[in-house]
């Protein structure tokens, strides 16, 4: 695909190979992908532009919910890979497409203002929307080439339409010329997360296609290693044991805790394999390029990264975990639920649970996360200024490299890891019966403990020594 000479051929190749894959794997069930995508396109083409984002969100999420209900009816707790996995990917792509089209058409005046926003939060918000905005409806070949893009149709990563289009037409590989900024208050967020002045770069018109082979093979190697690890460990450590009555009755609490740690790590390895192989395939096709440095060097290929394995496994906060685990889904939830619902954690986690499925385990998991997140925010605003006053709460470069700092970091890592280990079990347990067996085996103590910690932290006075620690919920999905 990367070597095809025209964008029309690339769109066609992406569509035909994607259709061949879903037909080969799902048989006639791929009709769900086509139907939900075709109706989405019709809504975007025929409905009033000011309503398309809402209509598509309701349509696609409703279809996704129906697919989950059907899966539970025909294969309850089977764990088989069927069309619903692909439908989850399409749900992200179709809803984001509609929101971006809305931003580029019906909401164009706010997304592309005549004068820059004075409010920094609004400036950051609309800069990101501007980067993804779609100004006119693509033709059917472009749309369905994106929808059925074969590198990510099965397991993601579900990247934005603008990123797909720029990789197809080659504009993602243009080298930039750097000039002085015209407006200092306007910032754009690059794919690698860095901020640049909006007017500091201009296209030189020179398109240089870098090699994709080595970065793709690196992801393949990681995928193979994690797959091997999963296959070795899963023979001994299985999540199903966590709700097995005999295992609970005959295994001491500490031994069960260790078993749960390894069993959940084993499950994560399965995801690491799927995501890294899909990421490598996307890179090989030319997606995910982060651009060139002013010196003309390749920045990287993390534009389609779905998992930062080391970052996730060493996270000392839920905020970091959400940024490093299933990153494309996290971005989708942040941009199209969190920011569009007044930064509501409950609404965001509810949509996430519904998107994952209808098993009670998902709702146990995601509806417990707001409590943990609130505890983390309270720690940041009330405890951090007392223990690590140098730390601004976000930039690790400001974190103190002192014995107290290291000890506090370890304590936070253990607390985060323990809390996420506890609630993470429910994600994989599925049914209400399994979840209740697991909860009763802990005598509900972790939930009670979390509630008590939240109450104690809420009653603590807020430190007035440093305004940097006031809870910031304006720009980050925490």
51 lies in a domain? yes
181 lies in a domain? no
Q: Are residues 244 and 336 in the same domain?
A: yes
Provide the pLDDT for residue 193. 46
Where does the pLDDT of residue 469 fall: very low under 50, low under 70, confident under 90, or very high at 90 and above?
Answer: very low
Provide the pLDDT for residue 277. 96
Choosing from 113, 136, 170, the residue where a domain stops is: 170
pLDDT tens, residue by residue, 144-179: 999 999 999 998 899 999 999 999 999 999 987 655
Where does the pLDDT of residue 478 fall: very low under 50, low under 70, confident under 90, or very high at 90 and above?
Answer: very low
Averaged pLDDT, 233-248: 90
Higher per-residue pLDDT: 187 or 224 = 224
Q: Are residues 465 and 343 in the same domain?
A: yes
Q: Are residues 347 and 459 in the same domain?
A: yes
Reported pTM: 0.86
Phi, psi of 156 (to 5 degrees): 85, -170
Provide the pLDDT for residue 302. 92
Cα 225 off chain centre by? 23
177 lies in a domain? no
251 lies in a domain? yes
Q: Averaging pLDDT over each range in 89-103, 177-191, 311-325, 332-346, which range is the top one? A: 89-103
431 lies in a domain? yes
Beta strands 174-178 and 187-189 are unpaired
Range of the domain at 87: 7-170
Higher per-residue pLDDT: 223 or 179 = 223
| Among candidate residues 280, 267, 264, the one with its CA nearest the CA of residue 227 | 267
User: In this structure, are residues 6 and 290 in contact, taking their beta carbons and an 8 Å threshold?
Assistant: no
Q: Are residues 137 and 234 in the same domain?
A: no
Q: Are residues 103 and 22 in the same domain?
A: yes
pLDDT tens, residue by residue, 75-129: 887 777 788 889 999 999 999 999 999 999 999 999 999 888 988 888 888 999 9
Q: Is the predicted pLDDT of residue 276 greater than 50, yes or no?
A: yes
Provide the pLDDT for residue 177. 66
Choosing from 138, 170, 202, the residue where a domain stops is: 170
Q: How large is the C-alpha radius of gyration of the chain? A: 23
354 lies in a domain? yes
Q: Is the predicted pLDDT of residue 473 greater than 70, yes or no?
A: no
Q: Averaging pLDDT over each range in 133-137, 205-209, 409-413, 425-429, which range is the top one? A: 133-137
pLDDT tens, residue by residue, 449-464: 999 999 999 988 876 5
The 8-class DSSP code of residue 298 comes to B
User: In this structure, are residues 375 and 457 in contact, taking their beta carbons and an 8 Å threshold?
Assistant: yes
Choosing from 145, 170, 195, the residue where a domain stops is: 170
Q: Are residues 229 and 148 in the same domain?
A: no
Distant-in-sequence, close-in-space partners of 295: CB < 8 Å, separation ≥ 6: none
Averaged pLDDT, 177-191: 46
Q: Are residues 277 and 151 in the same domain?
A: no
Give the mean pLDDT of the chain.
87
User: In this structure, are residues 425 and 417 in contact, taking their beta carbons and an 8 Å threshold?
Assistant: no
Q: Return the ∠ at Cα 387 (arms to 385 and 392), rounded to 5°.
A: 45
Higher per-residue pLDDT: 108 or 397 = 108
Residue 327 neighbours by CB distance under 10 Å: 21
DSSP H or E segment with residue 202? strand 201-207
452 lies in a domain? yes
Mean pLDDT is lowest, of 159-173, 332-346, 392-406, 431-445, for 392-406
Q: Are residues 392 and 257 in the same domain?
A: yes
User: In this structure, are residues 137 and 122 in contact, taking their beta carbons and an 8 Å threshold?
Assistant: no
Structure tokens at 107: 């909401």
User: In this structure, are residues 298 and 292 in contact, taking their beta carbons and an 8 Å threshold?
Assistant: yes
Q: How far apart are CA 191 and CA 131, in angstroms?
A: 10
Averaged pLDDT, 231-245: 91
Averaged pLDDT, 360-389: 88
Provide the pLDDT for residue 290. 92
Residue 393 neighbours by CB distance under 10 Å: 23
Distant-in-sequence, close-in-space partners of 400: CB < 8 Å, separation ≥ 6: 388, 390, 391
Provide the pLDDT for residue 191. 44
Q: Are residues 235 and 103 in the same domain?
A: no
Q: Are residues 288 and 374 in the same domain?
A: yes
176 lies in a domain? no
Averaged pLDDT, 276-286: 96
Q: Are residues 302 and 445 in the same domain?
A: yes
Averaged pLDDT, 265-290: 95
Provide the pLDDT for residue 231. 96
- 65, β-bridge pairs: none
What is the number of domains present in the chain? 2
Provide the pLDDT for residue 373. 87
Provide the pLDDT for residue 305. 94
In the block, tokens 């080659």 appear at 170
With left for phi above 0 and alpha for psi between -120 and 50, is residue 154 left, alpha or beta? alpha
Q: Are residues 230 and 326 in the same domain?
A: yes
User: In this structure, are residues 304 and 157 in contact, taking their beta carbons and an 8 Å threshold?
Assistant: yes
Averaged pLDDT, 15-22: 95
User: In this structure, are residues 90 and 129 in contact, taking their beta carbons and an 8 Å threshold?
Assistant: no
Mean pLDDT is lowest, of 73-82, 281-290, 382-391, for 73-82
| Among candidate residues 231, 209, 345, 183, the one with its CA nearest the CA of residue 284 | 209
Where does the pLDDT of residue 430 fall: very low under 50, low under 70, confident under 90, or very high at 90 and above?
Answer: confident
Provide the pLDDT for residue 418. 87
Provide the pLDDT for residue 205. 66
The 8-class DSSP code of residue 335 comes to I
């Amino acid at each position: 695909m990367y070597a095809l000479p025209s964008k029309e051929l690339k769109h066609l190749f992406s569509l035909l190979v994607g259709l061949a894959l879903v037909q080969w794997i799902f048989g006639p069930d791929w009709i769900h992908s086509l139907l939900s995508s075709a109706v989405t396109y019709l809504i975007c083409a025929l409905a009033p532009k000011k309503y398309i984002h809402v209509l598509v969100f309701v349509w696609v999420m409703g279809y996704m919910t129906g697919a989950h209900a059907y899966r539970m009816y025909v294969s309850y707790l089977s764990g088989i890979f069927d069309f619903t996995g692909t439908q989850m990917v399409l749900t992200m792509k179709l809803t984001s497409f509609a929101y971006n089209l809305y931003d580029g058409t019906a909401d164009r005046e706010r997304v592309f203002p005549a004068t820059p926003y004075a409010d920094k939060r609004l400036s950051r918000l609309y800069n990101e929307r501007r980067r993804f905005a779609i100004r006119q409806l693509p033709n059917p070949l472009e749309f369905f080439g994106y929808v059925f893009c074969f590198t990510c149709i099965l397991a993601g990563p579900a990247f934005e339409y603008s990123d797909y289009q720029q990789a197809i037409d080659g504009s993602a590989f243009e080298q930039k010329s750097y000039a002085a900024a015209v407006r200092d208050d306007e910032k754009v967020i690059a794919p690698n997360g860095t901020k640049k002045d909006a007017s500091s770069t201009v296209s030189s018109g020179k398109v240089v296609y870098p090699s994709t082979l080595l970065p793709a093979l690196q992801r393949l190697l990681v995928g193979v290693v994690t797959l091997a690890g999963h296959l070795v460990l899963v023979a001994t450590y299985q999540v199903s044991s966590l709700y097995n009555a005999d295992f609970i009755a005959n295994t001491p609490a500490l031994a069960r805790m260790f078993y749960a740690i390894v069993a959940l790590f084993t499950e994560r390895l399965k995801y690491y394999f799927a995501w890294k192989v899909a990421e490598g395939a996307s890179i090989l096709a030319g997606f995910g390029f982060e651009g060139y440095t002013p010196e003309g060097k390749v920045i990287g290929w993390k534009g389609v990264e779905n998992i930062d394995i080391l970052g996730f496994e060493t996270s000392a906060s839920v905020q970091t975990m959400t940024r490093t685990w299933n990153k494309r889904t996290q971005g989708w939830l942040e941009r199209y639920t969190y920011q569009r619902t007044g930064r509501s954690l409950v609404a965001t986690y509810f949509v996430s649970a519904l998107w994952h499925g209808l098993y009670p385990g998902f709702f146990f998991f995601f509806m417990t996360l707001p409590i943990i997140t609130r505890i983390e925010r309270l720690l940041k605003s009330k405890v951090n200024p007392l223990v690590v006053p140098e730390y601004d709460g976000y930039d690790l470069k400001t974190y103190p490299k002192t014995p107290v700092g290291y000890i506090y970091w370890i304590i936070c890592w253990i607390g985060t890891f323990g809390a996420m280990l506890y609630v993470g079990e429910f994600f994989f347990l599925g049914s209400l019966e399994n979840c209740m067996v697991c909860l009763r085996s802990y005598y509900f103590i972790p939930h009670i403990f979390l509630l008590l910690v939240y109450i104690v932290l809420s009653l603590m006075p807020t430190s007035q020594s440093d305004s940097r620690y006031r809870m910031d919920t304006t720009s980050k999905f925490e």
